[in-house]
Amino acid sequence: MSVRIRFVLILTMVISIILLCSLFIIYTLYARTREQEFNKRLWAHAYNEYKEYYNITDTDSTVLKKLDYYLPGSPINFQSFLLDSAYHLIASAPEQLSFKVDTNQLQTIRELGESDFPVGRYQGVGLYINRQGHKGYAIATGYDKYGLARLLALRVIMVFVAAGSILIIGLFALLYVITVTRPLVNLSVQMRRITENNLTQRVNIGKGNVRSNEIVQIASNFNNMLDRLEKAFQLQKNFVHHASHELRTPLATMMAQTESALRKELSATEAKKVLESLKEDQQEMIGLTNSLLLLSQYENVNYSPNWPLVRIDELVYDSIGESQKTIPGIAINFNFINQPENELYLCMHGNEALLRSALRNLIKNAYKYSDNKQVTITMETRSNAIELRFDNDGQTIKPDDAERLFLSFYRGENSHKQKGFGLGLSIVKRIVELHLGTVNYSVINDNINRFTVIFRKP
C-alpha cells in the first residue's frame, strides 16, 4: 500500500472517529434531555392528580411554574393512580390499569420522595407527597410518542450525515494528499532519473523559503548531497587514473629493462646494474603502494575526543631526529615564537602515530624543494590553538598550482626534477583535518615556501 493511500485512510479514519464520537455525544445528550423533559411532564400530571383529589391549594411559586409549563397537553396513553400511605388504591385514571407497582418500588419512591422508572416502552414517575396531612403516592405513566419520533428522526439524520461526511472527508483527504505530495512525487521522479552516469544533473528546488518549506529543504539537501557525491566520484576517478598512471610508469620501465637484458649477453657488472635499476623501480612501486594504502587507511579514521593528550613540541623534536637519520645532509631549525604560559598550551588530543607521519612528510617535502637543504620550523602556542610553520628557500609555486597542491598525485612545476608521487601533502591534509586542523601554503618574500598547520582545540 502506498504512502498516499495509507495517509488518506489514516486521516479519514481519525476524522471519522471524531465525527462519530461527536454525533454519539449529541444523540446521547438529546435522548437524555428528551427523557428528562417527559419525566417532568409525568411529574406535573401525577402531582396535579394528587392536588385535585385532595383539593390542596399550593402556594409554592416554583411548583406552580413547573405545573404551568409541563401540565398542558396530556401524554399519549397516560395512566395515573393514587395510593395512601398503606399502599391502598384511592383513585386511578383510567380505572383499568395496564401496569402494577410493587412494594419495593414504592419504598424506593418514599425514601427518595420522587423516582422515575421505565415501564416497557413507557416512562413512569412516582411521587410521595405529604401536604396538609394527606400522605400518599401519586404515580403516572405515559408514552412520549412525539419525542421518540423526533429522536428516531435525529438518528436517521445522523446516519446519513455520518455516511455523507465520511465520504466527503475521504475525498477531501485524497485531494489534499495528492496536492500536498505532488512536489514529493515530482521530486521522486527527478531523483529516479539521476544515476551514476549523470551526477551533474540536479533536481528542481522550486519556489519557497528553504527555512520554512520542507520540500525545498529536501530538494536543496539532495542537491548538496549530489554535489558531495559528484566530488567524491570525481576524486575517486582521478585517484584511479593517477594511480594507474603512476604504477604503469615503473612497470613499463621494469619491463623494458628486463626485455633489453634478455636480448643481450650481459656481463656480471652489467647484470648488477640492471638489477640495481630494477630494485630502484621496485622500491618506487613499494613506496607508491604504501602511500596509497596509508591514504586509504586514513580515509576510514575519524576524530575521537578520547584520544590521549600529546605534546606537539616533543613530536616535532622526534620527527626532526628521525628525519636527520633518514635524510642525509638535512639541516633543521626549530624555533618558538612565544614562550608557552602553560604547559597544556603545547598539548592536544591526538593520534601520535598519525601526527608523526604528517610532521615527517612536511619536513621531507620542505627538504626536497629547498635550494639549500635547510628547513625552518616555527611554533606558536595559544590557549585555543597550536600553529606550526614549515619554511624553506626554493622555487615557489604559482597561485593556480597552490590551489591543487593537496590533491592526490598532483605535482607542481617545481617538482619535475624530484622523484615522488604527489601523495605526501594529501596524507598531511587528511591527518590534519582528522585532528580538526587546517593546512595551507603561502609564499613569503617571493622566495620562501611556507606550509602553515593550525590545530584548533575544541
Domain ranges of the chain: 3-150, 214-299, 309-456
Confidence of residue 416 (pLDDT cuts 50, 70, 90): very low
CATH code for the part of the protein at 309-456: 3.30.565.10
Is pLDDT above 80 for 237? no
Is pLDDT above 80 for 415? no
Q: Which fold has domain 214-299?
A: Helix Hairpins (1.10.287)
DSSP 97-141: -S----HHHHHHHHHHSEEEEEETTEEEEEEEEEETTEEEEEEEE
Is pLDDT above 60 for 72? yes
Q: Which pLDDT score, from 0 to 100, does residue 84 have?
A: 86
Instruction: Say which residue, 243 or 425, is predicted with more confidence.
Output: 425
Top-tier CATH class for 3-150: alpha beta
Reported as a single tens digit per residue, the pLDDT across 327-375 is: 888 899 999 888 887 888 888 888 887 888 888 888 988 888 888 889 9
Reported as a single tens digit per residue, the pLDDT across 2-18 is: 667 887 888 888 888 99
Q: Which pLDDT score, from 0 to 100, does residue 297 have?
A: 59
**How much is the mean pLDDT over the chain?**
80
Instruction: Say which residue, 300 or 313, is predicted with more confidence.
Output: 313
Is pLDDT above 90 for 403? no
Is pLDDT above 50 for 439? yes
